Chains A and B, each alone.
Chain A
Amino acid sequence: MADERSSKVSKFERKRSRSPADTNSSIKRAKVEKTEDDGDKNTIEHNPYLSHWNDDSNGYREGKLPVGSALKHFRRRETTAKQASKAEEGDNNPFTGQPHSEQYFSILKTRRNLPVHKQRQEFLDAYQKSQILVFVGETGSGKTTQIPQYVVYDELPHLNHKMVACTQPRRVAAMSVAQRVADELDVNIGEEVGYSIRFEDKTSSKTILKYMTDGMLLREAMHDHALSRYSCIILDEAHERTLATDILMALLKGITQRRPDLKLIVMSATLDAQKFQRYFFEAPLLVVPGRTHPVEIFYTPEPEKDYVEGAIRTVLQIHASEGEGDILLFLTGEEEIEDTCRKISLEVDELVRETDCGPMTVCPLYGTLPPHQQQKIFDPPPPPFRKGGRPGRKCIISTNIAETSLTIDGIVYVVDPGFSKQKIYNPRLRVESLLVSAISKASAQQRAGRAGRTKPGKCFRLYTEKAFKEELIEQTYPEILRSNLANTVLELKKLGVEDLVHFDLMDPPAPETMMRALEELNYLACLDDEGELTQLGGLASEFPLDPALAVMLISSPEFYCSNEILSLTALLSVPQIFLRPAQKRREADEMKNLFKHPDGDHLTMLNVYHAFKGVLSRGEDGKKWCHQHYLSFRHLSSADNVRAQLKRIMETQGLDLVSTDFSDRDYYTNIRRALVAGFFMQVAKRENNKIYRTLKDNNSAVMLHPSTVLGADYDWVIYNEFVLTSKQYVRTVTGIRPEWLLELAPQYYDIESWEGQKDVKQALKAVADKMRRRAAMKAGR
């Protein structure tokens, strides 16, 4: 292994020495391809995700233990729960050698009370006997925090240089769980216990237990096909079936066969573990009951006319007539949640004024909520107004985040209208959208289960029992069946999966979805006509971005605007930066107009970003400035962070960061052209006054989203997002010229093979003729 590494280093050196010459050469895709010639192995040195591969500064890599460590007599994969308990109770930390803190012992006490602790020995027996283990534990059983620690005590990762990894579907979960476990092990976060999420890596050479998002482990697998840094991989929350988890399961299924020393634990919170077992060669199953109480379920006698109104009424009725305990209400989206929060608060005020009801705080919970506001859900409920008065309670209104993984104590009542927002992808029309649809039976049961965490609870379903039985599907579809797979296919190619047809996924996607993904990658020149990964494709897979965005970013140096496109890419990968509060739409739009660029929203966003950076560099209060201008400080700052990360990748990949001079009249034109280079598949042409029609496969009549700044000056626009509601909109649009389409994406806009949309074909033909005439004139001169 040492030899291999040194050879890699030498290759790396070679490449380094050559790079100055490269920077002088013209910036073309061809150049990008050249740097890729060396294969992907040498890029490990460059890869920020694998930055501590060569870092051997600490003794851990040599297999040293602190003097007098309780782990001295442990034999790897032969330990018992008794031994481990004893080691945990020692005065000194077995991993660092430092004495344990007071806090450690108090936490240890609570840890011992977790349901999973009782089965530690049973777990170790099963773990040591089998390579793959399926573990089912309800949320709150302590599996996410405890199992990885049990594994660490058995695996002794510091002795053999190999880590234990635990994946989480959500970034927030990875961060918070890592913090908790670091406290439990009495170590500093980022040292023995670390986490790694997109755009943030908090690990070091000391790290023996690493929490990470499933997507990050997948990215690591791209460079290290055998995941050789790990001795045990724990896939947590596997029941959520995220795209990355599904791919990882398929990959690990193969890797475990090649690497008998690698152990795999699949953890799920629901009891459909049979599917996991069947998939992983009938792996043994271990079940830990959660600490749950009975939950009584109520249905409505007849369907609700309006589920939001019904939910509000139910919450108020619970507050007025039910005993102590918090309420959890599931709704679909941010807007609906905020709206309902307001309505319930008003009604509760009224209720409190009129009757002797206790106080109730209402807190929203959704993904894009700022963390400090998310934290509110963990606050204790308000005290009663007077001593001996009716107790106060808390009402949490949440999206389906609160369905699994998030553990909120004190919930006794759950109100479930039966809907959630779900991603759906239509490969025929190439539209991916978030739509409100009915949940599954499994989801409904999960939701009801939230009520029985602290004491017997009640779940009020705002639908009939008949609807539950007849209208709900059994299981929620895994993400892989609901997403655009372009990015996934690119990743699979990079992971070395050649045979996409027979790749052993738990739920293979629809063939049409796969076809569409291949096609898109082919048009983006990430795959060649034989379906092999091109250099551009290989480079694009280095970026944790959608292929279209990655291609746009990679080709931006050709247009002398990579700095700007880099900012724009970062802005497009965070949630909407413009705020448009319902009551202050007009003011918000006025403020947006300050940054307005007549050519479109992308350029307007860029103006905002530049202004934001200007404010920060002048040392002014960015938060205040954002508030004044109806901008999201959080999203702008996170865009800034994303930009820095992407910049690092660009630098390591040898992509130049250039800008056209701002005074040049082509400054904005170049940016628009670069946009076309990535988004040529998302173009709409004007049909009549306000109606545009998207081109090719999508072929639907759309309107520009009301938030756009673009006037009706352009017949051709590119858009970032296709919004599907009762009306169809395109959002974040910028005007372009049809010549660019023919010039930059001749394969996609091939007039000869154009089918359907005759008027578009004619228009393109006219443009092509014009271009030819102009070229002829130039040549003649």
Chain B
Amino acid sequence: MGLAGPRNRRKLDYDPNNTRWTRDETTFGQKILRSQGWQPGKFLGAQDAAHAQLHSAASLAPIKINLKDDTLGLGAKIRQKQSDECTGLDVFKDLLGRLNGKSEETLEKQRQVRSEIKTNLFVERRYGPMRFVSGGLLVGDQRMEELVNKKATPTPVKDESVSEASEAESVKKEKKDKKEKKSKKRKTSESEESDTSDSKREKKRKKRSTAGDEPSNGDTEVDKSIKKKKDKKEKKSKRSEQALGGENDTEPVDSEMKRKKSKKSKDTPQQQSLSNSAETSEDGASEKARKKEKKREKKRKQADSAEANEVTATMESSTATPQDSGSSTPNNADASTPQALSARHRSRSRHIASKRKAFGDMQALNQIFMVKPV
């Protein structure tokens, strides 16, 4: 496991494998075997036997196996504990962010993202994931949603939010394999496997109140692979949407409010930031519907946006719950690249400023040079 592995103190005896006995050439056993013509490193058994090439290594040295006293499945690695993560890495990342000229707010947001991931991770490991499936909206809320959408006015945002979003995207990418769905109001449990990219099935699903059909293992496998594919598609579509909506993003705070009111069932922060950037200045309702559609089917992305209004009732809510600790290390290089050419000068001066600020921070310097606080 390396340095990050759990520390397991074990006292080893002197010569635990008793190699002294193995090497000792005066033992009775060695004496007898040698007198009958055996030499170290040779097989026992008939000389030049026809089957000798089928001998295994176990005929040369005793079999060794590891002691197993847990119920860990075959091929599973030892359960990762919270403490496995490198401590202080996030602080270090903050620092790097500052050096790369990120603003305090962005950093604060990142910090929040991380702490959310951590909490979710803890809850999931501790209590196990609960899977939910959307059951549509409460009827009374629909009008509220429309109202809110009209209020929303687009305002330009800093480019950071875009990079932020792509960052969160990369986070999400890493744990696409296990998804958790939650809806805020209604909680009807259904197996996650039951959603496929098939749009017909989607409509069927809408009608189903509770689908208690747990597919067999075999189906599960197939479904999972489908799901994986679908996730990839989803991601792609979101990407393209970001590129589209990059110029005229809505104001984050505003959109967040809207999102809350619309009972959109999203609860992890990455998803939030994603939705921020993905929000366009178009009519809110149709845009939302379109987005939902995209999640299901890439091809119908734009064409169906008008008709899709009816579909609003079905809430596709694929909120990722973080799976592995690695997810807390987003791609920083990615984040700093998409700077606009015109803003080059401005960003450069900001770089310099933040570097200066970082160098003034004793604590940060200590961390860079790995000096332990006295």
Contact = CB atoms under 8 A, between A and B. Distances in A.
B76 interface: yes
Given A425-B62, A507-B59, A518-B32, A418 B74 contact: yes
Contact of A529 (B16, B28, B214): B28
Interface string B220-242: 11001000000000000000000
25 contacts: A275-B54, A279-B49, A279-B50, A304-B74, A314-B217, A317-B217, A428-B62, A429-B17, A436-B69, A463-B75, A471-B75, A477-B58, A477-B63, A501-B38, A501-B44, A503-B44, A507-B56, A508-B55, A510-B59, A514-B33, A518-B29, A518-B33, A529-B28, A697-B18, A699-B13
Interface of B: 13-22, 27-30, 32-33, 35-38, 40, 42-47, 49-51, 54-56, 58-69, 71-77, 79, 213-218, 220-221, 224
Given A697-B21, A699-B18, A303 B73 contact: yes
B42 to A, nearest CB: 8
Interface of A: 275, 278-279, 281-282, 296, 298-301, 303-310, 314, 317-318, 320-322, 417-419, 422, 424-429, 435-438, 458, 460, 462-464, 466-467, 471, 475, 477, 481-482, 499-519, 522, 529, 531, 697, 699-701, 724-726, 755-756
The interface centre, meaning the residue of B37, B58, B214 with most chain A CB atoms within 10 A of its CB, is: B58
Contacts of A517: 29
Contacts of B79: 305
Given A419-B74, A463-B74, A511-B44, A504 B36 contact: no
A499 B36 CA distance: 7
A435 B67 CA distance: 7
A518 B28 contact: yes
B32 A531 contact: yes
A307 B73 contact: yes
A308 B40 CA distance: 43
The interface centre, meaning the residue of A429, A471, A515 with most chain B CB atoms within 10 A of its CB, is: A515
A320 B58 contact: no
Nearest to B41: A511
A305 B74 CA distance: 9
A458 B74 contact: no
**Majority SS of interface residues in chain B?**
loop
B195 to A, nearest CB: 17
A306 B72 CA distance: 5
Contacts of B28: 515, 518-519, 522, 529
A462 B76 CA distance: 10
Contacts of B63: 424, 477, 481-482
Contact of B73 (A310, A320, A513): A310
B29 A502 contact: no
A458 B45 contact: no
A279 B33 contact: no
Contacts of A305: 72-73, 76, 79
Contacts of A522: 28
Contact of B65 (A322, A435, A516): A435
Given A298-B221, A307-B73, A502 B36 contact: yes
Contact of A514 (B13, B44, B49): B44
A298 B36 CA distance: 51
Contacts of B221: 298-299, 301
A516 B42 CA distance: 17
Contacts of A756: 14-15, 20
Nearest to B24: A755
B177 to A, nearest CB: 8
A301 B224 contact: yes
Given A428-B18, A509-B59, A303 B76 contact: yes
Given A320-B214, A477-B58, A511-B44, A501 B50 contact: no
Contact of B74 (A307, A429, A697): A307
Contact of B217 (A307, A460, A477): A460
A424 B46 CA distance: 24
Given A317-B214, A701-B13, A508 B43 contact: yes
Contacts of A501: 33, 36-38, 44
Please provide the 10 A-B residue pairs with the shortest distance between their CB atoms, ordered closest to farther.
A515-B29, A304-B73, A467-B75, A508-B45, A303-B76, A504-B46, A508-B44, A463-B74, A418-B74, A501-B36
Contacts of B32: 500, 515, 518, 531
Nearest to A700: B13
Nearest to B14: A756
Given A519-B29, A531-B35, A726-B69, A467 B59 contact: no
Contacts of B56: 475, 477, 481, 507
Contacts of B75: 303, 463-464, 466-467, 471
A425 B30 CA distance: 18
Nearest to B35: A531
A456 to B, nearest CB: 13
Contacts of B35: 531
A437 B70 CA distance: 11
Contacts of B13: 699-701
Nearest to A498: B36
A522 B220 CA distance: 60
Contacts of A425: 62
Contacts of A505: 44-45
Contact of A278 (B50, B65, B220): B50
Given A279-B51, A303-B74, A515 B36 contact: no
Contact of A308 (B22, B27, B46, B71): B71
A305 B77 CA distance: 8
B220 to A, nearest CB: 8
Nearest to B50: A278
A436 B60 CA distance: 23
A500 B71 contact: no
Given A278-B54, A507-B55, A519-B28, A426 B74 contact: no
